[in-house]
Amino acid sequence: MEWANAIVQGVLLGGLYALLAAGLSLMFGVMRLVNLAHGALAIVAAYAGLVLVQKTGMPPFASIVIVVPLMAILGWVLQRTLLNTALNRQALAPILVTFGLAVIIQNLLLELFTADNQSIDVGSLASSSIQITPDIAIGVFPLITFIVGVLVIGLLQQYLARTATGRAMRATSDDREAAELMGIDNKYVYSLATAISLGLVGIAGVFLGIRTQFNPTFGDATLIFAFEAVIIGGLGSLWGTLAGGMILGIAQTVGAQAFPSSGVLLGHVVFLLVLAFRPTGLFPKVVNG
């Protein structure tokens, strides 16, 4: 039953990874842009949540209501000022620009908040759990995270499938030039995609800040986990990203069960195996509802 418990915990952990990776997947799906600042931006959101909770005393989940629009605005501005320019240059430009952005963000956070570990306090919720069997207990907060992850991905998928701007994103993802001739302003679509992506990072960052201790350098690991979830699931596929997150989570928790000191390693091994034998991921599909 210990193994079953490890798998259940892995699935729940996958919800957080999927939440972290959804924005990365969307940006890649729409713009073919690999945002290396994604992890650093998630930590920005975690600090934003932390500051709001500490300074105003608002409940941690309520801080999401402020963090998400702030991150979305930041995304819109970043796309308009920096990323659109980078996308119009050579293929490596967006990677270099977002890498530089990640370095700048990390150092700014170090200046502002020092390298001390922090976390967003949710009181007893952090340790509350539901006993399913004598050997399996589900943490309430991980369960909430998982449900939010699934909901976010489901809503995003519906948005892409059923709304005009969602279709514009899919059209632009398919063929940017043809989409322009259908009257779609790709700069607007890209800005919207990044705003949504960073809004999702806002949710993910606050959940990350509640679940675990973080510091300004934590963005690197966050980016790697999100990236692994996207690659395992298949680039640009949202449900694939959820599946990728769960597979990564299971690999890590099962790995920890087998080798307590190096659980994360098995996650990386699964990622490398997928990359080696199925580089398009397990469920490849360009974002298209």
How near is the Cβ of 120 to another protein at its closest, in Å? 38
How near is the Cβ of 223 to another protein at its closest, in Å? 27
How near is the Cβ of 164 to another protein at its closest, in Å? 5
Binding mask 149-188 for another protein (x = CB under 8 A): ---------------x--xx-xx-xxx-xxxxxxxxxx--
Question: Which one of residues 82, 143, 224, 286 is an interface residue with another protein (CB under 8 A)?
Answer: 286
How near is the Cβ of 190 to another protein at its closest, in Å? 13
Cβ atoms of residues 172 and 9 within 8 Å? no
Size of the site for another protein (CB under 8 A): 22
How near is the Cβ of 280 to another protein at its closest, in Å? 15
Burial class from Cβ neighbours inside 10 Å (0-12, 13-18, 19+) for residue 264 reads middle
* Window 185 to 214, contacts with another protein (CB under 8 A): 185-186
Contact region with another protein (CB under 8 A), list: 49-57, 77-85, 214-222, 281-289:
281-289
CB closer to another protein, 147 vs 178 = 178
Q: Does 257 bind another protein (CB under 8 A)?
A: no
How near is the Cβ of 30 to another protein at its closest, in Å? 12
CB closer to another protein, 5 vs 288 = 288
CB closer to another protein, 89 vs 187 = 187
CB closer to another protein, 35 vs 173 = 173
CB closer to another protein, 155 vs 178 = 178
CB closer to another protein, 165 vs 212 = 165
Burial class from Cβ neighbours inside 10 Å (0-12, 13-18, 19+) for residue 259 reads exposed
How near is the Cβ of 116 to another protein at its closest, in Å? 46
| Residue numbers at the binding site for another protein (CB under 8 A) | 164, 167-168, 170-171, 173-175, 177-186, 285-286, 288-289
